[in-house]
Amino acid sequence: MQSKNIPLDERIIFALDVASPEEAKRLVERLESHIHFYKVGLQLFLSGWFPIVEWIAGRGHKVMLDLKFYDIPQTVSLAAGQLAGRGVTFATVHGNEPIVRAAAGAGAGVTILAVTVLTSFSSEDMGKFFGYRGKVEDLVLDRARAAVASGAGGIVASGAEAPRLRSELGEDFLIVTPGIRPAGTVAGKDDQKRVVTAGSAIGGGADYVVVGRPVRDATDPFAVIETMQEEISHSLGRLG
């Protein structure tokens, strides 16, 4: 989907991983000259519930509701139905086939993104904690293939896996890539294991990148955003 006309100010999804709606609103008001897509995760959603989602959408921005639904299919279907009319553009679910089908079939008018393997897990972690002895990129591909076939409009996956997903599964789905770090800092010490730059993620086939701490904690967040947008533009220019 690299040919899709996605505005540059929507390519970066800013992660509002903060404790209160008030803090989230301050960040949106500060960054909205440069960014028009925001992620609301568990922490903020449990603090601000749907009103914070609707506030963001009411300012003309898009929202990725990152709750990673995981339950029996009927419960997931009913939960996904609650998203209708709330201003949500993307919603995440764990990438198990029955769960994806249930969420996609809820008819909420929301693009369902299937989470393949969390970017905080490495291949070693998958073996240690889940008994999976293969390569993490193989598991991502298997889950992505099944999720797309089950109705997911997109996949959440590391930029390291995006090129293979595009090569083997084609263009007819979105790839949203978290674990983004500015150039020169991808080896930073935090809970993300499979990290890449914004430019390499988009160049490898991702459509959107999710960024939080590198922007939020920067002395000059606009400089970080503009550098990432320049990387993205350069990558899209090469692809075009």
Q: Which residues are catalytic?
A: 68
Other beta carbons within 10 Å of 238: 10
Could you give the angle at the alpha carbon of 39 between the alpha carbons of 36 and 45, nearest 5°? 130
DSSP 42-90: HHHHHHHHHHHHHHHHHTT-EEEEEEEE-S-HHHHHHHHHTTTTTT-SE
d(CA 111, CA 151): 10
Maximum C-alpha span of the chain = 46
**Contact in structure between 157 and 144 (CB atoms under 8 Å):** yes
Strand partners, 100: none
Q: Which token pair is 115?
A: 């989470």
Backbone conformation region of residue 64, classed left if phi is above 0, alpha if psi is from -120 to 50, else beta:
beta
